């Protein structure tokens, strides 16, 4: 787990460096807010199409080859993004990055491979914490490298830094990360490899429910992510550096929850209750942001979102992983990621238009209303007939 933790931190660190920069790049190219968010969503649309395939390939060929391949594609996309000089260049870089985004599903499958059912939430929390550390440090580093003045900000330097970190992650996978899944070691994987993502969701009610919960929570997360930089710029005048530091603070809270509270609370109160609590806290946070007229109340709401998301993500991933046998974890976790990828693909198509036409608070109200039913879906997933053993 230590080696996997380091790989995930460095991988997401490279990705996170560019998070606060893409909207500013689009603004520099003259793109309107209504079109900026769809550019952000292109990544997730391509990830939606590719993630289940990457998951099945990791069941067939092992986790390491998929991690190496997807990281290599991400590295190429960062270089293209850094030298983009038009909206078309941004779009091409985001498409390639999304199509090659198989590393997260493979990392969760790897963690599931090396953990027991009793320790699964803990292992998912470790991976979630690693991802959180990357998101915590990445935006801050990206903002510092770019600068806080949009007119003089440089985007090539952060992109090269992201590509360099990704090359380091590839080297760590090659030299430090042993294969956790022997290709073809279990005949039970044949069913998952032949079964598409839609079929898996249809035949497994628990997986369907937890994927739907992930979809709803990620809808609000995507609303926040796609509009936050523009919202902060327009409402408070924040540039890339300040936005990066704010995201650093929020990610720090999420990491503390995933790496600390989840490890302590999940065995005591259960993954279901902890995930439901995370959903409700996230809804409260979005409601506070929508009502905020000053930065202090907005920051309190953002903190609630960070803590709620930190509690939900590893617990929901643990519930999803229980729907897989040893030979099909990549396929199941890739299918589970479909909900999140679908949300990140669809929401940016409307969040920018909602922001422009209905006002700055509208996307956050939308996110709060949409996310609330996820609490019921988590309960349903944990109580479904197939919640304890996979149905093949």
User: How far is 336 from 320, CA to CA, in rounded Å?
Assistant: 7
pLDDT value, residue 376: 92
Residue 184 lies in a domain: no
User: How far is 152 from 141, CA to CA, in rounded Å?
Assistant: 17
Whether the full predicted model's pTM is greater than 0.85, yes or no, is: no
Residue 87 lies in a domain: yes
- Candidate from 201-210, 304-313, 364-373 with smallest mean pLDDT: 201-210
Where residue 121 falls among pLDDT bands split at 50, 70, 90?
A: low
Residue 252 lies in a domain: yes
For the chain, give the secondary structure using H, E and C. Answer: CHHHHHHHHHHHHHHHHCCCCHHHHHHHCCCCHHHHHHHHHHHHHHHHHHHHHHHHHHHHHCHHHHHHHHHHHHHHHHHHHHCCCCHHHHHHHHHHHHHCCCHHHHHHHHHHHCCCHHHHHHHHHHHHHHHHHHHHHHHHHHHHHHCCCCCCCCCHHHHHHHHHHHHHHHHHHHHHCCCCCCCCCCCCHHHHHHCCHHHHHHHCHHHHHHHHHHHHHHHHHHHHHHHHHHHHHHHHCCCHHHHHHHHHHHHHHHHHHHHHHHHHHHHHHCHHHHHHHHHHHHHHHHHHHHHCCCHHHHHHHHHHHHHHHHHHHHHHHHHHHCCCCHHHHHHHHHHHHHHHHHHHHHHHHHHHHHHHHHCCCHHHHHHHHHHCCHHHHHHHHHHCCCCCCCCC
Where residue 390 falls among pLDDT bands split at 50, 70, 90?
A: very low
Residue 183 lies in a domain: no
Residue 141 above 60 pLDDT?
A: yes
pLDDT tens digits for range 302-346 = 999 989 988 898 888 888 877 766 566 666 776 777 777 777 777
In the chain, the number of structural domains is 1
pLDDT tens digits for range 57-104 = 887 888 888 888 888 988 898 899 888 888 888 889 888 888 887 677
Look at the alpha carbons of 86, 88, 91, 95 in this order and tell me if their dihedral is positive or negative.
negative
pLDDT value, residue 81: 86
pLDDT value, residue 375: 92
Residue 68 lies in a domain: yes
More confident residue, 209 or 23: 209
Residue 189 above 50 pLDDT?
A: no
Average pLDDT, the chain: 78
Percentage above 70 pLDDT, the chain:
83
Residue 388 lies in a domain: no
pLDDT value, residue 389: 44
**What CATH number is associated with residue 120?**
1.20.1250.20
Residue 391 lies in a domain: no
Residue 276 lies in a domain: yes
Residue 191 above 60 pLDDT?
A: no
pLDDT tens digits for range 158-173 = 888 888 888 988 898 8
Domain that holds residue 199: 2-177+193-383
pLDDT tens digits for range 14-72 = 767 776 677 777 777 888 766 777 777 787 778 777 777 787 788 788 888 888 888 89
């Amino acid at each position: 787990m230590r080696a996997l933790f380091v790989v995930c931190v460095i991988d997401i660190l490279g990705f996170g460096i560019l998070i606060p920069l893409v909207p500013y790049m689009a603004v520099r190219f003259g793109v309107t807010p209504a079109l900026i968010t769809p550019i952000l969503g292109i990544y997730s649309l391509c990830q939606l199409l590719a993630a289940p395939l990457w998951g099945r390939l990791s069941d067939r060929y092992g986790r390491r080859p998929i991690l190496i391949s997807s990281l290599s594609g991400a590295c190429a996309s960062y270089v293209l993004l850094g030298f983009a000089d038009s909206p078309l260049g941004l779009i091409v870089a985001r498409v390639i990055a999304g199509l090659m985004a198989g590393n997260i599903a493979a990392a969760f499958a790897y963690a599931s491979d090396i953990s027991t059912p009793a320790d699964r939430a803990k292992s998912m929390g470790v991976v979630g914490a690693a991802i959180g550390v990357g998101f915590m440090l990445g935006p801050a580093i990206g903002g510092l490298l770019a600068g806080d003045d949009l007119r003089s900000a440089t985007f090539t330097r952060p992109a090269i830094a992201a590509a360099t970190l990704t090359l380091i992650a590839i080297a760590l996978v090659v030299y430090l990360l042993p294969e956790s899944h022997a290709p073809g070691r279990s005949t039970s994987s044949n069913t998952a490899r032949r079964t598409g993502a839609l079929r898996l969701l249809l035949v497994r009610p628990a997986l369907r429910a937890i994927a739907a919960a992930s979809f709803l929570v990620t809808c609000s997360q995507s609303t926040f992510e796609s509009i936050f930089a523009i919202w902060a710029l327009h409402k408070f005048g924040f540039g890339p550096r300040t936005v990066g530091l704010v995201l650093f603070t929020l990610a720090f809270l999420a990491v503390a929850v995933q790496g600390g509270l989840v490890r302590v609370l999940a065995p005591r109160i259960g993954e279901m209750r902890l995930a439901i609590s995370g959903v409700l806290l996230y809804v409260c946070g979005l409601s506070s942001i929508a009502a905020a007229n000053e930065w202090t109340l907005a920051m309190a709401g953002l903190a609630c979102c960070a803590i709620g998301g930190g509690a939900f993500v590893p617990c929901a991933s643990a519930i999803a992983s229980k729907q897989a046998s040893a030979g099909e974890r990549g396929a199941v976790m890739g299918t589970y990621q479909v909900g999140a990828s679908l949300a990140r693909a669809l929401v940016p198509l409307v969040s920018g238009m909602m922001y422009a036409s209905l006002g700055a608070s509208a996307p956050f109200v939308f996110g709060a209303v949409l996310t609330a039913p996820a609490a019921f879906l988590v309960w349903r997933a944990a109580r479904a007939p197939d919640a304890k053993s996979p149905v093949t």
